[in-house]
Amino acid sequence: MRVLGSYALVYMLAGKCEFGDGRGYRRTLGAGEAFLLFPDVPHFYDPGAGEPWDDIWLVFNGPAFDGWRQAGLLDPANPVWQAKPVDYWRQRIAGVLTGGRGAPAALVEVTRLLALLAEMRAEHAGGLSADRREPWLEAAAGRLEAMASPPDWEKFSREFGLTHEQFRKKFSAAMGVPPAHYRLARRIDRAAARLRADDSPLKQIAAELGFCDEFHFSKLFKRRTGLSPSAYRAQLRGAGG
């Protein structure tokens, strides 16, 4: 076994792979399965006996990923995810890289990678594939993304014929995260897009996206991305250069 010292996402494109880690996890993986490597967890992976294989992988580090690990969104106890079809996810993984250099390109890549990991995790939980998604779930996710203010969860849940507890459990199982976390993640993603696109004041962005004030917005944005909104915008644009 080896310790990489970084995070890595490895996605199987073809063939088979024998994967294991120092926590005792062992599994034979095939096309359409991904495994996560963690900086302090010993691991190994090798081609299956007599089998050619192909994969695509990304190696990454940073406080945003450490935060996701602390929150349980990246979990060494659950290192394998399934995501199909292969062609779609291969393109998504390759699309994380911008081909650019320096801090601005790196910030775009981190944002893309966080979105990729969230979607891949939800796909593994059965929350993204259209043929598996229940109509109520798609409707609920769309409404949560559009809401500027938090809903009355009991009332919101009853609109889908569920109690709040039933809604929270079913939504979490399908999407990989609780509904409140899902709504927050989508708002932060929208905020990142605004910071890239225009020079609107942070106070205005915070108000439009339903944050109680600029300070709260900055705190939550930094927790997700590792940078304050001002630092994110400045580095993305080369600090004005």
Hunting for tokens 């939980």 — which residue is that? Answer: 125
Task: Tally the C-alpha atoms within 13 A of residue 208's C-alpha that lie toward its C-beta.
Answer: 11
* pLDDT tens column, 73-130: 899 999 999 988 787 788 889 888 877 777 777 888 898 899 899 988 888 877 555 4
Measuring CA to CA, which residue among 80, 84, 92, 94 is closest to residue 32? 84
Mean pLDDT for all residues in the chain: 85
Tell me the residue range of the domain where 216 lies: 180-240
Q: Which of 101, 126, 144 is the last residue of a domain?
A: 101
pLDDT of residue 131: 43
pLDDT of residue 129: 53
> Looking at residue 215, which CATH number applies to its domain?
1.10.10.60
Q: Which of 127, 148, 175 is the last residue of a domain?
A: 175
pTM assigned to the model: 0.56
94 and 27, same domain (yes or no): yes
pLDDT of residue 240: 46
- Quick check: 139 pLDDT over 80? yes
